[in-house]
Amino acid sequence: YGAEGGDSHPVREFGDAATSPAANPGATTIHIEGPSESPTHQPGLPRGSGGEEDDELLGNDDSDKTELLAGQKKSSPFWTFEYYQTFFDVDTYQVFDRIKGSLLPIPGKNFVRLYIRSNPDLYGPFWICATLVFAIAISGNLSNFLIHLGEKTYHYVPEFRKVSIAATIIYAYAWLVPLALWGFLMWRNSKVMNIVSYSFLEIVCVYGYSLFIYIPTAVLWVIPQKAVRWILVMIALGISGSVLAMTFWPAVREDNRRIALATIVTIVLLHTLLSVGCLAYFFDAPEMDHHLPATTAAPNQTAAAAK
């Protein structure tokens, strides 16, 4: 082919020039990689610790995605099982982490933003309230038994009504108070634009986890010493009350100063009323007289006198 035509030489020269960079030092060389080749190193900003640390500190990696997808997560109709199933979609690690946060409040840290905002749940609050109900009822009966232990004339009668009374008090507090607080915050947000706002589910979650400290406290209330009981209730009240105060203060601090302080004081007073009321009713209240001889001795003495 090269012997017959003269245009084979230009083609060969063009190929030699393209394949020999040394022939033309000033030319630009373009290298095309094959599909099997992969670059070993690409210069640029590393996606290592710097970017990931910024995302972690700013919460751009998980929290923003969770908030953007929150509507899709709970978009099922409220009469379906899937709608309520999302409220219990939480793992054991998250529940334990939130319980730990309610027991060890950190000054200046928001409980909702640290533990709840990524995935508020009802699983933890429901079982915490249920456990607290039985802890109060059983401990109250056991405390009454220990107080009269050793009295020969005392006949122990378990008071099962304490279970229903404790359930009514605890669940009413864990649902009605957050509902009233949520309505109040929504009303104030319509008048004063606050930077921090909470949903009803987040408020219920905060109240539910704040009650966990009362479970071991109710068990220790079995100790038949009033001084010890009141010391325990003050410790529990200080821990759980600080969680509520530090959580809801950012939601009202932009409001009128008096209204903000009155809101926090009301929250703490209602919490105090719950703890002191449970202690006074289930443990310090005068029990019914279960001493038998007072009711049985009189008829026997009357019968003996008649004979």
What the block records as the tokens of 252 is 């009202």
pTM: 0.68
- Who has greater pLDDT, 136 or 298? 136
pLDDT tens sequence across 42-91: 444 444 444 443 343 333 344 444 443 444 444 677 667 777 787 788 88
Q: Which residues contact 102 (CB under 8 A, 6 or more apart)?
A: 111, 209, 210, 212, 213, 239, 240, 243
pLDDT at 41: 43
- Collapsing DSSP to helix, strand or coil, 211 comes out as coil
pLDDT at 180: 96
CA distances from 146 to 141, 231, 245 (A): 9, 20, 36
298 pLDDT band (50/70/90 cuts)?
very low
Cβ atoms of 188 and 105 closer than 8 Å: no
How confident is the model over 263-281, as a mean pLDDT? 95
Cβ atoms of 151 and 235 closer than 8 Å: no
